[in-house]
């Protein structure tokens, strides 16, 4: 079994990243098979429960209020619509529902109360629940944990050195603080980044170093390819090479061998063969469903056909156990 390390250096990660491609994929595939069921893929569905109007200036994001991207602002989604979306996702094969809100940070108000109710409602469907709501305080993370939240997504996006080029409205340390609060509340951490922002390879390696040197590796690391959106500062960025995605996935798999590595945004531009290379390199999670918040994504039917072709199978919900709050609630109900 591969040793799990938390002291990777940039030089070590760079050496892995620059390994000849086929050798890199072979090494990552070998580690993947040693540490998990390589044919099992965790499927998540991502919905936008509050769209547009965000005060952040993330250079890639169509939901930033300062950019004219054609995204209409919508208030928080009614709970019954969230439940309907969750039921549709579950029927399509998803084991996790991720709810995203275009907020800079969570505020202790009625909208957050509504999110707490949504978390409880989706839990009752026997699905894992993930949220991405912006920055969290300790107490807010604990409220989500008490409601039974399974995972919280808060991506680093890029390296600390490159961060101010992409976002100026919050700091890198604030991102890391939110991850600390999530971890303290014993919620599963989901944190990764985006490639194709105009970053250097050194930036990619630095971001992976930060993630791999956290006190505990994120349970999930999404690797996103930028989907350029008209009206954003990065609208004219060229499509990132699929081989860059393969290198990022393989490197992530090698340095964080037990982490779920998610092939995330950008899949609509990939052929089945290109996605197969990503799975071979160690990806074992995807987003499925027609949209990722506001950008296109392959449908459930398309993905299930690909799974059948490649011999992959969806991972069941709660394979690694339920959140403590949900466990306790079920135990009480059973008494």
278 is catalytic: no
131 is catalytic: no
Q: Count CA atoms closer than 13 A to 63's CA, side-chain side.
A: 21
Q: From CA 129, how far away is CA 120, in angstroms rounded?
A: 9
58 is catalytic: yes
Task: Choose, from 96, 98, 131, 267, the residue flagged as catalytic.
Answer: 98
Task: Choose, from 247, 253, 262, 315, the residue flagged as catalytic.
Answer: 262
Strand bridging mode 295-296 / 291-292: antiparallel
Task: Choose, from 131, 143, 170, 190, the residue flagged as catalytic.
Answer: 190
104 is catalytic: no
130 is catalytic: yes
Query: In this structure, are residues 267 and 275 in contact, taking their beta carbons and an 8 Å threshold?
Result: yes
Beta bridge partners, 314, equal 41
Phi, psi (5° rounding) for residue 232?
Answer: -95, 160
Tokens of 182: 């999530």
Task: Choose, from 54, 170, 204, 267, the residue flagged as catalytic.
Answer: 54
All residues at 6 or more sequence positions from 18 whose CB lies less than 8 Å from its CB, including other chains: none
| Residues counted in the chain | 335
Q: Where are the alpha helices (DSSP H) in the chain?
A: 10-17, 21-35, 79-92, 110-123, 138-146, 163-166, 172-184, 201-212, 242-255, 272-280, 300-310, 324-334
Cα 154 to Cα 11, 132, 243, distances in angstroms = 26, 6, 25
Task: Choose, from 58, 96, 131, 143, the residue flagged as catalytic.
Answer: 58
Task: Choose, from 96, 130, 143, 315, the residue flagged as catalytic.
Answer: 130
Q: From CA 140, how far away is CA 66, in angstroms rounded?
A: 27
Beta bridge partners, 46, equal 98
Q: Measure CA of the first residue to CA of the last residue in the chain; give whole Å.
A: 40
Tell which residue, 245, 250, 255, has the closest CA to residue 223: 245
Q: Show which residues are catalytic.
A: 54, 58, 61, 98, 130, 190, 262
């Amino acid at each position: 079994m591969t040793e799990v390390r938390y002291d990777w250096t940039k030089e070590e990660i760079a050496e892995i990243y620059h390994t000849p491609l086929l050798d890199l994929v072979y090494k990552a595939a070998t580690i993947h098979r040693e540490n998990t069921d390589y044919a099992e893929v965790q499927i998540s569905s991502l919905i936008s429960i509050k769209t547009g109007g965000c005060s952040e200036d993330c250079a890639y994001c169509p939901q930033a209020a300062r950019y004219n991207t054609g995204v209409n602002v919508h208030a928080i989604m009614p709970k019954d619509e969230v439940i309907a979306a969750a039921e549709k996702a579950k029927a399509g094969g998803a084991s996790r529902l991720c709810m995203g809100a275009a907020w800079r940070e969570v505020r202790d108000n009625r909208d957050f109360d509504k999110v707490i109710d949504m978390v409880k409602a989706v839990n009752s469907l026997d699905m894992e629940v993930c949220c991405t709501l912006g920055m969290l305080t300790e107490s807010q993370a604990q409220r989500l944990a008490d409601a039974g939240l399974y995972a919280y997504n808060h991506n680093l996006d890029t390296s600390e050195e490159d961060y101010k080029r992409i976002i100026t409205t919050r700091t890198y340390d604030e991102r890391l603080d939110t991850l600390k609060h999530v971890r303290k509340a014993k919620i599963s951490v989901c944190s990764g980044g985006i490639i194709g922002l105009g970053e250097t390879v050194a930036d990619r390696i630095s971001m992976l170093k930060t993630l791999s040197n956290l006190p505990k590796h994120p349970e999930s690391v999404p690797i996103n390819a930028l989907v350029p959106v008209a009206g954003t500062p990065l609208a004219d960025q060229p499509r990132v090479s699929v081989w860059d995605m393969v290198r990022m996935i393989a490197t992530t798999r090698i340095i964080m061998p037990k982490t779920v590595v998610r092939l995330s945004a950008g899949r609509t531009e990939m052929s089945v063969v290109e996605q197969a290379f990503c799975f071979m390199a160690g990806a074992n999670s995807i987003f499925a469903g027609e949209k990722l918040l506001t950008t296109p994504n392959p449908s459930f039917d398309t993905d299930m056909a690909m799974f059948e072709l490649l011999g992959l199978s969806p991972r069941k919900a709660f394979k690694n156990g339920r959140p403590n709050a949900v466990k306790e609630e079920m135990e009480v109900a059973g008494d």
